[in-house]
């Protein structure tokens, strides 16, 4: 079992966990098993980002048809390919942000204990890829998890929450203590899963996500003030009347369905 402290220390040997790559290794095999069991299907490929020493990889192999893993750090790549020999595992020594995902034509699962410094770009790369996704399961910092699953009116609710919740059913599977990592990070984490709920429509999404981002441009301003210079004023006023919106409403008070209605009224 890779996910235990003595294995991790021995595998690292002289090496130190690299902060610049967000290296915090999982050392609790119960947690790792739980993540992998939820994330995988026996007849599907799982894509892993940042396999590191292989704690999660080992379990993903147990529950998936095969595993495609992307690792940026050559030291990790060498340890991993030396210590796990399974022909169902393919490891790429590559920054995931540069990975060509068009090679995957079948439905896939995605699972990762994400490096903290690059969580949002990685998530957006996945969301905006044309991948046919069955399920995404990722470990993220708790505060990122809070933003992803935030509900209307809460402090964490913003453009990221709306975009993600438009595309996926987002669930916090469990909160995870910082104690299950080596080295121990300064914050706790959460396992979040995403299940697609929409037919993708690029043109609609581009316009809709732009409207959402514009609506949150200045959080303290009213929706009207954030939109008034970007969209036709008469269309905005008609939209307020049609949807019966209070003139002082702010973006964080508006739910996803109402945002969709607003977009339909204002168009691009």
Which positions lie near ligand SAM, rule CB under 6 A?
21-26, 49-53, 55-56, 70-73, 76, 95-97, 113, 115, 118
Question: Which residue, 96 or 127, has its beta carbon nearer to ligand SAM?
Answer: 96
CB of 137 to ligand SAM, least distance (A): 12
What is the Cα 144 distance to its own chain's centre? 9
3-state DSSP assignment of residue 9: helix
3-state DSSP assignment of residue 257: helix
Question: Which residue, 18 or 233, has its beta carbon nearer to ligand SAM?
Answer: 18
User: In angstroms, rounded to a whole number, what is the distance separating the alpha carbons of residues 191 and 56?
Assistant: 13
Reading the block at residue 64, the tokens are: 């998936």
CB of 268 to ligand SAM, least distance (A): 33
CB of 155 to ligand SAM, least distance (A): 26
CB of 132 to ligand SAM, least distance (A): 21
Question: Which residue, 50 or 158, has its beta carbon nearer to ligand SAM?
Answer: 50
**If you ran DSSP here, which 8-state letter would residue 25 be given?**
E
3-state DSSP assignment of residue 172: strand
Closest CA to 183 of 9, 2, 14: 9
Q: Which residue is nearest to ligand SAM (CB)?
A: 50
Question: Which residue, 22 or 158, has its beta carbon nearer to ligand SAM?
Answer: 22
User: In angstroms, rounded to a whole number, what is the distance separating the alpha carbons of residues 56 and 52?
Assistant: 9
Closest CA to 26 of 92, 114, 136, 146: 114
Whether the Cβ atoms of residue 97 and residue 117 lie closer than 8 Å to each other: no
CB of 147 to ligand SAM, least distance (A): 19
CB of 169 to ligand SAM, least distance (A): 24
CB of 121 to ligand SAM, least distance (A): 8
User: In angstroms, rounded to a whole number, what is the distance separating the alpha carbons of residues 24 and 43?
Assistant: 30
If you write DSSP's letter for every residue of 218-238 in order, what string do you get?
STTS-HHHHHTTTS-HHHHHH
User: In angstroms, rounded to a whole number, what is the distance separating the alpha carbons of residues 222 and 224?
Assistant: 5
């Amino acid at each position: 079992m890779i996910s235990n402290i003595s294995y991790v220390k021995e595998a690292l040997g002289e090496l130190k966990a690299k902060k610049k790559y967000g290296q915090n290794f999982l050392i609790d095999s119960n947690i790792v098993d739980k993540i992998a069991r939820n994330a995988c299907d026996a007849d599907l490929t799982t894509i892993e980002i940042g396999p590191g020493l292989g704690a999660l990889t080992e379990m993903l192999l147990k529950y998936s048809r095969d595993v495609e893993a992307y690792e940026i750090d050559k030291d990790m790549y060498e340890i991993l390919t030396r210590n796990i020999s399974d022909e169902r595992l393919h490891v790429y020594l590559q920054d995931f942000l540069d990975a060509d995902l068009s090679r995957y034509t079948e439905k896939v699962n995605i699972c990762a204990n994400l490096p903290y410094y690059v969580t949002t770009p990685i998530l957006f790369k996945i969301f905006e890829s044309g991948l046919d996704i069955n399920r995404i399961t990722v470990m993220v910092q708790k505060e990122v998890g809070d933003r992803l699953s935030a509900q209307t009116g809460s402090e964490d609710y913003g453009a990221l929450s709306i975009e993600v919740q438009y595309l996926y059913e987002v669930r916090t599977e469990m909160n995870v203590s910082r104690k299950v990592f080596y080295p121990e990070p300064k914050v706790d984490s959460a396992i979040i899963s995403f299940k697609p709920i929409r037919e993708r429509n690029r043109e609609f999404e581009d316009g809709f996500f732009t409207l959402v981002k514009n609506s949150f441009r200045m959080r303290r301003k009213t929706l009207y003030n954030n939109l008034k210079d970007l969209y036709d004023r008469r269309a905005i006023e008609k939209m307020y009347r049609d949807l019966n919106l209070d003139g002082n409403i702010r973006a964080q008070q508006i739910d996803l369905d109402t945002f969709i209605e607003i977009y339909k009224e204002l168009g691009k």
